[in-house]
Amino acid sequence: MEFKKEKQVRFQDEEKDVFREKNGAQGHEKQLPLYKTSAPLRKSEGGYADKIPKFGRSKVFPEGQEPEKKTILDPGSDIVLKWNRIFLFSCLVSLFVDPLFFYLPSVLNQQNSSCMHIDMNLGIIVTCFRTVADVFYLLHVIMKFRTAYVSPSSRVFGKGELVMDLNKIAKRYLKSEFFIDVIAALPLPQATGVVTKTAWAGAAYNLLLYMLASHVLGAAWYVLSIERHAICWKSACRAEFKSAGCSLNFLDCGTLTHSDRANWVNSTLVFTNCNPDNTSFFNYGIFGNAVAKNVVSSEFLKKYFYCLWWGLQNLSSYGQTLSTSTFIGETLFAILIAILGLVLFAHLIGNMQTYLQSITVRLEEWRLKRRDTEEWMRHRQLPEDLQQRVRRFTQYKWLTTRGVDEESILCALPTDLHRDIKRHLCLDLVRRVPFFSQMDDQLLDAICERLVSSLSTQGTYIVREGDPVTEMLFIIRGTLESSTTNGGRSGFFNSTTLRPGDFCGEELLSWALLPRSTLNLPSSTRTVRALSEVEAFALRAEDLKFVANQFRRLHSKKLQHTFRYYSHHWRTWAACFIQAAWRRHKKRMLAKCLSMQESFNSSHEEELPDDSDKEEAPKTVASSQVKQNLGVTILASRFAANTRRGAQKIKKVELPKLQKPEEPDFSADPDDD
């Protein structure tokens, strides 16, 4: 049993690709030996669960690069989404607060006079709210320095990769939006990222903007009413006191305690002429209700809600109920109300329809498909684990593609446009695969044109050992486990982790390079299972065969040696070959050591006796020779028996050698035994 345990082999290859090291990949791990004897499966700290991202995230971290600090945030995370909502609310509050400054001027009515003043209490409250909104805006600027962004080069496929480097995030923000955010006087609703994820929330957001426009319009109508009222007072005062001059300072409430103001109030007709009912002297037009109903002199809440209602009413009716005077400014204000109401109402209806249709139409289609799938699974009585796997894949596909069938869109385009789009989407990603990096552009174009996207959820078996290989898979994101037992060989297990830039299904390439390949697809020598959510490109068997037949450059020695170097099948065979050679060397060294030991023992026993025993030598020479011959015979028989027994034992437990991978068009290199 001890000998048999020494024969069991378990490989765990975590070696980083040389191609990724040359391209400056981060997070290099220390290279492990190619094989270990009786080594258990290596697990990371905390298991695989620590490195596998949670299901359903909108973005993924770049492979081999985890966030260095917890302060770096994913723009699609719940924390950033909540902050965007908070910041949007603060921006809306600031937009709501700013028009409140229009309500600061007010009219104070007395028994037979009126005056204007500034409501300082309201001004202090509004200024405090505005300051709080500015603090939120400053916090949002700080948040942008801590929020990762999606790399533009990774947006062409799947969910995109996040840039987690603080320096890169800061440089990008400083070059793009920082100065605009700092200089901006009004914090317009410009929350970064996703704000709403439901259609009704988006519709409510647009309705809130419509109400905000009504609020601004009502505040503008109020301050213009105050202005028209002040213009009437000034006009009446100047018309009355042409020679003596008009004392406009008496219209300010700060002169209420002056004795001269009481005399002026008793002698003037300014307040009588500026009565809104007296249209012969001054026509207030659309601002008459504000003066007649004492809106300009009411408490804040009363005049605010009245102005809000006035703005909403006229914005919804496009100003059709307004009766304007001949004053040009008033007429232009009415025209602005009509145009603004028409544009905002169309914008509201259009956006609400867009939100309710753009999201719900595809979502409804997905729900119908999901409902049909659920009914089918219940009808077929699938076990719960299979149902859960189907649900996970359906949800993952929806999160990645949003219900868009990319293949149908590309197939409807002309061939030239189709080829250019596939080149733009796939070329940079394909060149990240070491095997493809050695090809020229024409061959890469042919491969890119036939690549299709492939999505796999965690725990999915891409292919099992012994099953026919139907496609080659080139990993873009995610990790897979590739293992083999060499066809069920007892005591043999080899496992390796496939990362972005690796590929699997290399048996298909050997089959495609055969000059007269059969219709039977090759069998897989490994079992490939997804350790996380995987995004990859797949090259089907018929497409690979077409490329191999049309482009003979695929048979070049350089590409073949590159394929052999990055093939895990070839690496496993090389490891087993080296291991077998090492065992043969150890066996020869052991036999040589035993032979030298036996020779040393025999020479030691043949030493001559001392001079002091010369007299007794003739008497004992016969007996010593007999003993010596007997000892040599016994040792030789023991050595022969041990050697024969060891050879028989090795022959019984020796396992068959791992079969060398096929190399159809490779150069016939002599095997070094």
Query: With 50 as the cut, is the pLDDT of residue 449 above it?
Result: yes
Phi, psi for residue 272 in degrees, rounded to 5? -75, -45
Q: Strand order in 534-540's β-sheet?
A: 452-456, 534-540, 471-477, 503-504
Query: With 80 as the cut, is the pLDDT of residue 211 above it?
Result: yes
Query: With 70 as the cut, is the pLDDT of residue 240 above it?
Result: yes
Q: What is the pLDDT of residues 386-436, one digit of tens each?
A: 888 888 887 777 766 666 667 777 777 787 787 788 777 777 767 766 666
Query: How confident is residue 140, by pLDDT bands cut at 50, 70 and 90?
Result: confident
Q: What is the pLDDT of residue 468?
A: 86
Query: Which residue would you say has higher pLDDT here, 665 or 93?
Result: 93
Rounded CA separation 555/664 (Å):
10
Rounded CA separation 105/219 (Å):
11
Q: Is the dihedral of CA 81, 66, 40, 536 positive or negative?
A: positive
Query: Which residue would you say has higher pLDDT here, 655 or 511?
Result: 511
Rounded CA separation 557/666 (Å):
7
Rounded CA separation 52/330 (Å):
65
Q: What is the pLDDT of residues 539-596, one digit of tens each?
A: 888 888 887 777 665 556 666 666 666 666 677 777 777 888 888 888 888 888 888 8
Q: What percent of the chain has pLDDT over 90?
A: 3
Phi, psi for residue 339 in degrees, rounded to 5? -65, -45
Query: With 50 as the cut, is the pLDDT of residue 272 above it?
Result: yes
Q: Cα 17 to the chain's mean position, in Å? A: 24
Contact between 516 and 665 under an 8 Å Cβ cutoff? The reply is no
For the chain, how are helix, strand and coil distributed in percent, rounded to 5? 60, 10, 30
Enter the tokens of residue 137: 């805006």
Query: With 80 as the cut, is the pLDDT of residue 175 above it?
Result: no
Q: What is the pLDDT of residue 357?
A: 65
Query: With 70 as the cut, is the pLDDT of residue 646 above it?
Result: no
Query: How confident is residue 307, by pLDDT bands cut at 50, 70 and 90?
Result: very high
Burial class of residue 219 (count of CB atoms within 10 Å of its CB; 0-12, 13-18, 19+): buried
Looking at every residue in the chain, the average pLDDT score rounds to 71
Nearest Cα to Cα of residue 121 among 302, 291, 300, 306: 300
Enter the tokens of residue 595: 């032979």
Query: How confident is residue 470, by pLDDT bands cut at 50, 70 and 90?
Result: confident
Q: What is the pLDDT of residue 306?
A: 92
The residue-averaged pLDDT of 24-43 equals 36
Q: What percent of the chain has pLDDT over 70?
A: 63
Query: With 70 as the cut, is the pLDDT of residue 619 above it?
Result: no
Rounded CA separation 486/488 (Å):
6
Enter the tokens of residue 306: 């009245």
Rounded CA separation 380/101 (Å):
67
Ordered structural domains, the chain, with CATH = 1-42+405-607+622-673 (2.60.120.10), 57-195 (no CATH), 201-403 (no CATH)
Instruction: Lowest mean pLDDT of 262-276, 419-433, 603-617, name the range.
Output: 603-617
β-strand pairing of 492-498 with 9-13: parallel
CA distances 327 to 222, 223, 228, 281, 292, Å, are 17, 16, 10, 14, 19
Contact between 504 and 572 under an 8 Å Cβ cutoff? The reply is no
Q: What is the pLDDT of residue 438?
A: 67
Q: What is the pLDDT of residue 64?
A: 43
Q: Is this model's pTM higher than 0.85 or not?
A: no
Q: What is the pLDDT of residue 201?
A: 65
Query: How confident is residue 219, by pLDDT bands cut at 50, 70 and 90?
Result: very high
* Range picked from 3-12, 61-70, 623-632 for highest mean pLDDT: 623-632
Contact between 269 and 306 under an 8 Å Cβ cutoff? The reply is no
Rounded CA separation 216/124 (Å):
20
Enter the tokens of residue 168: 């890169």
Contact between 148 and 72 under an 8 Å Cβ cutoff? The reply is yes
Q: How many other C-beta atoms can be found within 10 angstroms of the C-beta atom of residue 184?
A: 12
Q: What is the pLDDT of residue 593?
A: 85
Burial class of residue 582 (count of CB atoms within 10 Å of its CB; 0-12, 13-18, 19+): exposed
Query: With 50 as the cut, is the pLDDT of residue 193 above it?
Result: no
Query: Which residue would you say has higher pLDDT here, 583 or 14?
Result: 583
Give 250's Cβ-side CA count (13 Å radius). Answer: 20
Query: How confident is residue 182, by pLDDT bands cut at 50, 70 and 90?
Result: low
Instruction: Lowest mean pLDDT of 75-89, 445-459, 544-558, 588-602, name the range.
Output: 544-558
Query: Which residue would you say has higher pLDDT here, 663 or 239?
Result: 239
Contact between 63 and 499 under an 8 Å Cβ cutoff? The reply is yes
Query: With 80 as the cut, is the pLDDT of residue 665 above it?
Result: no
In order, the DSSP letters of 538-592 are: EEEHHHHHHHHHH-GGGG-HHHHHHHHHH-HHHHHHHHHHHHHHHHHHHHHHHHH
Rounded CA separation 118/106 (Å):
6
Enter the tokens of residue 555: 């048979």
Q: What is the pLDDT of residues 249-265, one digit of tens each?
A: 888 888 777 878 887 87
Nearest Cα to Cα of residue 567 among 638, 500, 507: 507
In 241-327, alpha helices (H): 259-267, 270-273, 288-292, 300-316
In order, the DSSP letters of 7-18 are: H-EEEEE-PPPH
Checking 177-184 for CB contacts under 8 A at 24+ apart, the result is: 177/144, 178/141, 178/144, 181/137, 181/140, 181/141, 181/144, 182/141
Query: How confident is residue 221, by pLDDT bands cut at 50, 70 and 90?
Result: very high
Q: What is the pLDDT of residue 222?
A: 92
Instruction: Lowest mean pLDDT of 122-126, 287-291, 399-403, 455-459, name the range.
Output: 399-403
The residue-averaged pLDDT of 373-393 equals 83
**Cross-strand bridge partners of residue 162:** 150
CA distances 622 to 18, 473, 627, 629, 632, Å, are 73, 82, 9, 11, 16
The residue-averaged pLDDT of 11-39 equals 39
Q: What is the pLDDT of residues 472-530, one digit of tens each?
A: 888 888 888 888 876 656 566 778 888 887 778 877 877 777 666 667 788 888 888 88
Phi-psi region of 480 (alpha: psi -120 to 50; beta: other; left: phi over 0): beta
Query: Which residue would you say has higher pLDDT here, 67 or 534?
Result: 534
Checking 129-137 for CB contacts under 8 A at 24+ apart, the result is: 129/93, 129/97, 130/94, 130/97, 130/98, 132/90, 133/90, 133/91, 133/93, 133/94, 133/97, 133/187, 134/94, 134/187, 136/86, 136/87, 136/90, 136/187, 137/87, 137/90, 137/91, 137/94, 137/181, 137/187
Q: What is the pLDDT of residue 637?
A: 66
Q: What is the pLDDT of residue 309?
A: 92
Nearest Cα to Cα of residue 119 among 104, 129, 130, 133: 104
The residue-averaged pLDDT of 23-46 equals 37
